[in-house]
Structure 1
Amino acid sequence: MLEFLPHGDERGHLVVVEGMKDIPFEIKRIFYIYGSDKDVVRGQHANRKTQFVLINVAGTSKVRVDDGKGNETIYSLNRPHTGIYLPTMVWKDMYDFSKDSVLLCLASEPYDAEEYIRDYKEFVEIVNK
Structure 2
Amino acid sequence: MSQKKTIWDANLVYLPKIGDRKGHITPVTNFKEVPFQVKRVFYLYDIPGGESRGAHAHYECQQFLVAVSGAFEVLLDDGNSKRQVLLNRADLGLYIPAGIWASEINFSGGAVCLVLASQNFNAEDYIRDYSDYLNFIKRDDTSIR
TM-score scaled by structure 1?
0.96
TM-score scaled by structure 2?
0.86
**Cα RMSD for the two superposed structures:** 0.8
SS at match of 1:74: strand
Q: Which has the higher strand share?
A: 1
How far is the alpha carbon of 1:5 from its aligned partner?
Answer: 1.3
How far is the alpha carbon of 1:92 from its aligned partner?
Answer: 0.6
Aligned pairs, how many? 128
CA distance in structure 1 between the aligned counterparts of 2:132 and 2:20, rounded to whole angstroms: 49
CA distance in structure 2 between the aligned counterparts of 1:91 and 1:38, rounded to whole angstroms: 22
Matched, 1:52 2:63: yes
Which of 97, 105, 108 is residue 107 of structure 2 equivalent to? 97
- Can you list the C-alpha shifts for 1:22-63, whole angstroms capped at 9, x where unaligned? 111000000000111234221111000100000000000010
CA distance in structure 2 between the aligned counterparts of 1:39 and 1:15, rounded to whole angstroms: 27
The runs of 4+ residues in structure 1 deviating greater than 3 Å are none
Could you tell me whether the CA contact under 8 Å between 2:49 and 2:110 is conserved in 1?
no
Identity over aligned pairs, percent: 36
- 1:14 aligned partner: 25
How far is the alpha carbon of 1:10 from its aligned partner?
Answer: 2.8
Q: Which runs of 5+ in 1 are unaligned?
A: none
Q: Which runs of 5+ in 2 are unaligned?
A: 1-11, 140-145
